[in-house]
Amino acid sequence: MASPPTSLVFKVHRNEPELISPAKPVPRELKLLSDIDDQEGLRFHIPVIQLYRYNPSMKGKDPAKVVKEALAKALVFYYPFAGRLREGPGRKLTVDCNGEGILFVEGDADVSIEEFGEALHPPFPCLEELIFDVPGSSAVLNSPLILVQVTRLRCGGFILALRLNHTMADAPGLVQFMSAVGEMARGATVPSLQPVWHRHVLFARDPPHVTRTHREYDEVPDTKGTIIPLDEMAHRSFFFGPTEISAIRRFVPPHLRNCSTFEILTACLWRLRTIALRPDPEEEMRIICIINARGKSNSPIPKGYYGNAFAFPVAVASAKELRDNPLGFALEKVREVKAGVDGEYMKSVADLMVVKGRPHFTVVRSYLVSDVTRAGFGEMDLGWGMPAYGGPAKGGVGAIPGVASFYIPLKNNKGEEGILVPLCLPAPAMERFEKQLGGMLKDQNTSSSSLIISAL
């Protein structure tokens, strides 16, 4: 598969940033976040990017103007996004719904969407140009909760890049908001799905009562410096289509053949990444799976809820166990943690947050995966049709870059639907990872060049 031109360099000529407030008066009030929302591991801004091709039916329409007006209309219904976060006793976060607004930047780049290459996916060149970090805007407290930049391109297409304060919403919640923006841009006056605040459904109980084991919040000392260093990092994106997934399935024992693609891919990446990093054999290695609690048994999450409604359950095994056992060992561990998330699990996490002071999930020797293949980023129509790419702007986001990967839906240039996984590893470990993965996939008509589809 063709790699994007990593040498692509361009500048965005931006207007002065402005604040967009709700188009009509909204309630002035204080709203508490849930005890899932305000944990330490979500106190950061997450970048998302949408690329839209030129659409002749929108000739003469300025995407920046259309998006700006649609945002103002959507904020009437999602007015907490126009507020500011304050921190109270016990580090409890509250939204001051003061209508100050979200940050908006418009700009122009002398580049066409075609210059980004055939396959549009992270990592994107000049990302800092496409989502400008407005000075003073990236604090978690007392700052705009969303920043949107619309960059018009020479070809008539445009790029919408967005940065969200993660304590306010998860991927389904952000997609719900942006879908409302899309509906407003296309002429609707109210969103088809009404937003529901209801953060109380994930408040800790009184008194708090931790009923489940939450090893994702273990306090693990980093005695051997195993948090990945940020310098000398290699970034690659790997494509897993039907051919690659069926090749990995060959290594799965018969009783686990009905496993989901997510489970198989996660187990494979955890095992190979561990082997590539070469930790001490007795070191505990962790895989954290982001699991959405919407629709799980006894889940309290109502339809239209746009807060964070997921857990970080973790599987733990020694480096030696992962290296020496076949894939089925890691797979059973992944299946077990995934199955454990239900409504009670979420309540137990909320209780733990209050008891332990809102800790960060453990990043020492951890690898976190988040599946956004069904989140709906690729279906956000702002009037120009579906985006050519929609989803996370990069892998390895959050407090500790290199720890996280997203599973992003992608159609490759052969027209195959698959999953793109951006990965971040020290350069020598990345070489070992590619070799191991290539070995697993050989004899399946899969060349490593079609698997690795970008490198920056």
Residue 114: strand, helix, or coil: helix
pLDDT of residue 445: 56
pLDDT winner (highest mean) among 97-111, 214-228, 407-421: 97-111
Catalytic residue among 96, 218, 342, 381: 381
pLDDT of residue 5: 46
pLDDT of residue 224: 64
* Cα 308 to Cα 35: distance, rounded to the nearest angstrom: 10
Is residue 449 pLDDT above 60, yes or no? no
Is residue 118 pLDDT above 90, yes or no? no
Is residue 71 pLDDT above 60, yes or no? yes
Structure tokens at 119: 């396959």
Catalytic residue among 166, 170, 214, 235: 166
Mean pLDDT of the 275-288 span = 96
Residue 176 near residue 159 (C-beta atoms within 8 A): no
**124 or 100: whose pLDDT is higher?**
100
Is residue 4 pLDDT above 50, yes or no? no
Per-residue pLDDT of 197-210, as tens digits, reads: 999 999 999 999 99
pLDDT of residue 398: 56
- The sign one gets for the Cα dihedral 120, 124, 126, 132 is positive
Residue 293 near residue 343 (C-beta atoms within 8 A): yes
| Confidence band, pLDDT 50/70/90 cuts, at residue 401 | low
Predicted TM-score (pTM) of the model is 0.92
Average pLDDT along the chain: 91
Domain 12-202 fold: Chloramphenicol Acetyltransferase (3.30.559)
pLDDT of residue 82: 98
Residue 185: strand, helix, or coil: helix
pLDDT of residue 195: 98
Is residue 116 pLDDT above 90, yes or no? no
Is residue 295 pLDDT above 70, yes or no? yes
pLDDT of residue 144: 98
CATH code reported for the domain at 215-455: 3.30.559.10
CA geometry: angle at 17 spanning 13 and 21, to 5°? 140
Per-residue pLDDT of 19-69, as tens digits, reads: 999 999 999 999 999 999 999 999 999 999 999 999 999 999 999 999 999
Is residue 404 pLDDT above 60, yes or no? yes
Residue 301 near residue 294 (C-beta atoms within 8 A): yes
pLDDT of residue 3: 43
Mean pLDDT of the 200-229 span = 86
Q: Considering only CA atoms, which of 59, 66, 64 is closest in space to residue 155?
A: 59
* Cα 5 to Cα 26: distance, rounded to the nearest angstrom: 46
Per-residue pLDDT of 75-106, as tens digits, reads: 999 999 999 999 999 899 999 999 999 999 99
Is residue 124 pLDDT above 90, yes or no? no
Per-residue pLDDT of 297-354, as tens digits, reads: 888 999 999 999 999 999 999 999 999 999 999 999 999 999 999 999 999 999 999 9
Annotated domain spans of the chain: 12-202, 215-455
381 among known catalytic residues? yes
Is residue 367 pLDDT above 50, yes or no? yes
* Cα 427 to Cα 416: distance, rounded to the nearest angstrom: 29
Q: Do 12-202 and 215-455 share a fold?
A: yes
Structure tokens at 409: 């839906």
| Confidence band, pLDDT 50/70/90 cuts, at residue 424 | confident
* Cα 178 to Cα 214: distance, rounded to the nearest angstrom: 32
* Cα 190 to Cα 175: distance, rounded to the nearest angstrom: 16
Q: What are the CA-CA distances from residue 283 to residues 111, 268, 321, 366, 395 (Å)?
A: 47, 19, 10, 11, 25
pLDDT of residue 162: 97
